[in-house]
Amino acid sequence: MPMIRASTLTAAVILAAASACAGQAPTSQPSPAPPTVAVVHLAASYTPSKLQLKAGQQFLLIVSARIQASIPGGGGLLTARRLAAGRYLYTAHTPGIITLPATIRPRCPPGTACPQWVSVALLRLAIT
């Protein structure tokens, strides 16, 4: 009776198993892509200044580090959640149109001359 080395036998078993599985569909389903979240930047103004969302969709508001801004809530149409300094996640809940005003001032280091201006940026949201 011929003697077969263990490594040769192991390789034969692996090769046979791989051949048997060839052409078969994977058993697990690929995970769905994560939902896309719109990004809005706030500096001297909102960019973009208009946004269309569906109820349940979200957008991320990123506030420039060079400004101080009053971050608005969304009334009954939206909710806002602060994620980190200068980052807010808004979720649309109810269909309607809303304008989010933000009062903006320059952010200056302590002890430095700072421009004395205030402006208002407007973001118009249509939720369907």
Note the pLDDT tens digit of each residue in 5-41: 444 444 444 444 444 445 555 556 666 656 678 999 9
107 Cβ contact partners less than 8 Å away, ≥ 6 residues apart: 65, 66, 67, 68
For residues 72 and 89, which has the higher predicted lDDT (pLDDT)? 89
For residues 109 and 22, which has the higher predicted lDDT (pLDDT)? 109
Average of per-residue pLDDT across 66-78: 86
Q: How far is CA 66 from CA 5, 25, 42, 104, 111, in A?
A: 71, 53, 10, 10, 16
Is a pLDDT exceeding 50 seen at residue 122? Answer: yes
Going along the chain from its start, the domains and CATH numbers come out as 38-127 (2.60.40)
Q: What is the pLDDT of residue 114?
A: 87
Q: What is the pLDDT of residue 14?
A: 43
Task: Say if residues 29 and 23 touch (Cβ distance below 8 Å).
Answer: no
Residue owning tokens 């909102």: 46
Mean pLDDT taken over the chain: 81
Average of per-residue pLDDT across 70-80: 85
